[in-house]
């Protein structure tokens, strides 16, 4: 197995059947897919496509619109929906020759941390089927971990990085506004980004290079082409790299021992060893810094995310989502529709989000959460003005068993991941080891538009702290 970035198209086409059959296994054994296209469809597409991703099978999270292929958000509400258009990211990758292999399982409307809140059943962790793979982009992480190469997910509060960590692969949340979200079914837009999973750092670079095109359909994108060009050339340099330096003298990395001490002792141990490795073997300058209030980010995140969710999900009403034949009255039908078609977690968030932004309580909850967000943004920006990277755990624990982390226990898994969503910084989850046979990862956060520097860091650590070829049996 080698990076797709180093595999010629003919070779990818030759491997296609094998790669596809692994994905079918991932669908059957771990429930990684909501929709898997047939081998015939996939082969036909792959043979007729042209471009740098010819012969690449691409699993896509089921909240990213794909023309003519069902896009359900793992919800009964959208169970029969086939979008009439492609999301911009899908359009870009198809134009580059990629073949959509299927739509991956996820938490309903991307609300969850374990992959269990799906109307189509939970996704399972390929390293241990009794454990969760992490969510909400559960299927996209499993697809790569289980002998795949690359996939797409979305990350509102950790939904790429948490499953990447639990499944032992790379997962990147890009800088806010760097990758178009046109065609992503929204959950909480001030926080979320579409991003790639991969096992090889070069493949991450290759996908990112294609994904950062400016899109006037996404109003959050920064239209600076020169900025984009400089990122593209740095990504290209990673793809072309042959050797790598033995040490990284002068690279400054910050971490907070206080924050790490909030994690489970097994996770702590692996991360502490990794920090020693960075310091002693890689010669990085690693410093312990104080990050007061970062532990408040979880509360701020959940209030903001729920408020935005309650507003976004208001669109699912009897105007568009019932058929004319069953129509009785707007309110009656809307109540019935939403009671029947939304899962419990989605309902909980709509109720809490409406409450936290209601006239009488807005100041106490929503506006306060925005102030905490501002404070955290300043804090992280200040650290990143002095350091190249901020290192944090991804998850406070190894992957929980199915049914073990529900309600607020599931929210608590996000304590580290929500930080860069609140601040907009890019963050990359990198596998750094195993504890009792289960993957452990860390995330690196860097300054805005330093996404390529994060990918380069993964490149440096590849084959040294993690083996990109390692896969569950």
Cβ atoms of residues 160 and 195 within 8 Å? yes
* Residue from 135, 143, 158, 116 nearest 29 by CA: 143
Q: Which of 159, 175, 397, 423 binds ligand GLN (CB under 6 A)?
A: 159
Work out whether 138 is an interface residue with ligand GLN (CB under 6 A).
no
DSSP state letters, 386-410: H-SEEEEES-SSSPPBTTTS-THHH
Q: Where are the alpha helices (DSSP H) in 173-224?
A: 201-211
For residue 110, the 8-state DSSP code is G
Report the nearest approach of ligand GLN to the CB of residue 302 (Å).
7
For residue 328, the 8-state DSSP code is -
* Residue from 375, 380, 377 nearest 391 by CA: 380
Q: Is 49 a catalytic residue?
A: no
Which residues are within 8 A (CB) of 388 and not within 5 positions of it... i.e. 6 or more apart? 251, 252, 253, 446, 453
> Binding marks (x or -) toward ligand GLN, 174..213, rule CB under 6 A?
-------------x--------------------------
Work out whether 155 is an interface residue with ligand GLN (CB under 6 A).
yes
Report the nearest approach of ligand GLN to the CB of residue 218 (Å).
18
Q: Is 136 a catalytic residue?
A: yes
Nearer Cβ to ligand GLN, position 23 or 113? Answer: 113
131 three-class SS: strand
Q: Is 180 a catalytic residue?
A: no
291 three-class SS: coil
Report the nearest approach of ligand GLN to the CB of residue 19 (Å).
27
Measured in Å, how far apart are the chain's first and last C-alpha atoms? 15
Work out whether 379 is an interface residue with ligand GLN (CB under 6 A).
no
> Binding marks (x or -) toward ligand GLN, 380..399, rule CB under 6 A?
--------------------
Report the nearest approach of ligand GLN to the CB of residue 136 (Å).
4
Nearer Cβ to ligand GLN, position 108 or 462? Answer: 108
Among 49, 75, 113, 136, the one annotated catalytic: 136
> Binding marks (x or -) toward ligand GLN, 95..134, rule CB under 6 A?
---------------xxxx---------------------
Peptide bond into 315 cis (omega under 30): no
Report the nearest approach of ligand GLN to the CB of residue 39 (Å).
31
Q: Please work out, in degrees rounded to the nearest 5, the angle formed at the alpha carbon of residue 399 by the alpha carbons of 393 and 404.
A: 125
Report the nearest approach of ligand GLN to the CB of residue 29 (Å).
24
Among 49, 54, 61, 137, the one annotated catalytic: 61
Nearer Cβ to ligand GLN, position 414 or 462? Answer: 414
Distance separating alpha carbons of residues 159 and 290, to the nearest angstrom: 26
Nearer Cβ to ligand GLN, position 359 or 408? Answer: 408
Cβ atoms of residues 61 and 109 within 8 Å? no
Report the nearest approach of ligand GLN to the CB of residue 139 (Å).
13
Q: CA 162 → CA 48, 166, 255, 376, 394, distances in Å?
A: 35, 6, 19, 20, 6
For residue 248, the 8-state DSSP code is -
- Binders of ligand GLN among residues 277 to 306 (CB under 6 A) are 305
Return the range that interacts with ligand GLN (CB under 6 A); candidates 51-59, 155-163, 221-229, 442-450: 155-163
Q: List active site positions.
A: 61, 136, 159
Binding site for ligand GLN (CB under 6 A): 110-113, 136, 155-159, 187, 305, 414
């Amino acid at each position: 197995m080698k990076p797709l970035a180093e595999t010629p198209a003919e070779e990818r086409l030759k491997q296609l059947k094998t790669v596809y059959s692994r994905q079918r296994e991932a669908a059957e054994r771990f429930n990684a897919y909501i929709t898997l296209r047939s081998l015939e469809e996939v082969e036909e597409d792959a043979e007729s496509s042209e471009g740098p991703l010819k012969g690449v099978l691409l699993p896509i999270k089921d909240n990213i619109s794909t023309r003519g292929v069902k896009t359900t958000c793992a919800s009964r509400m959208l169970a029969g929906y086939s979008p009439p258009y492609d999301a911009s990211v899908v359009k870009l990758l198809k134009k580059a020759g990629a073949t959509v292999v299927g739509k991956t399982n996820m938490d309903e409307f991307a609300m969850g941390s374990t992959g269990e809140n799906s109307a189509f059943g939970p996704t399972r962790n390929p390293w241990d089927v009794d454990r969760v793979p992490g969510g909400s982009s559960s299927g996209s992480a499993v697809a790569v971990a289980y002998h795949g190469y690359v996939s797409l997910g979305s990350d509102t509060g950790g939904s790429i990085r948490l499953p990447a960590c639990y499944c032992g692969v790379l997962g990147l949340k890009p800088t806010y506004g760097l990758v178009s979200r046109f065609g992503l079914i929204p959950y909480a837009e001030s926080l979320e980004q579409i991003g790639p999973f991969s096992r090889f750092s070069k493949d991450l670079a290759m996908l990112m290079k294609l994904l950062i095109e400016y899109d006037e359909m996404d109003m959050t994108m920064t239209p600076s082409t020169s900025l984009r060009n400089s990122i593209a050339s740095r990504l290209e340099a990673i793809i072309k790299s042959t050797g790598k330096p033995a040490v990284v003298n002068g690279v400054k990395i910050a971490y907070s021992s206080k924050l790490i001490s909030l994690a489970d002792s097994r996770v702590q141990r692996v991360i502490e060893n990794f920090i020693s490795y960075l310091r002693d073997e890689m010669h990085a300058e690693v410093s312990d810094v104080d990050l007061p209030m970062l532990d408040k980010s979880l509360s701020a995140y959940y209030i903001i995310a729920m408020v935005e969710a309650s507003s976004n999900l208001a669109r699912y009403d009897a105007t568009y989502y019932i058929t004319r034949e069953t129509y009785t009255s707007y309110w009656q039908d809307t109540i019935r529709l939403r009671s029947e078609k939304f899962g419990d977690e989605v309902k909980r968030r709509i109720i809490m989000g409406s409450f936290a932004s209601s006239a009488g309580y807005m100041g106490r909850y929503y506006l306060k959460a925005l102030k905490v967000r501002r404070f955290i943004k300043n804090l992280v920006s200040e650290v990143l003005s002095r350091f190249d990277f901020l290192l944090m755990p991804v998850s406070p624990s190894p992957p929980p068993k199915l049914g073990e982390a529900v309600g607020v226990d599931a929210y608590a898994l996000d304590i580290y991941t929500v930080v860069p969503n609140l601040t907009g910084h890019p963050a990359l989850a990198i596998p750094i080891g195993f504890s009792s046979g289960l993957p452990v990862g860390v995330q690196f956060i860097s300054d805005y538009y330093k996404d390529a520097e994060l990918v380069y860091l993964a490149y440096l650590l590849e084959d040294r702290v993690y083996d990109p070829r390692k896969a569950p049996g």
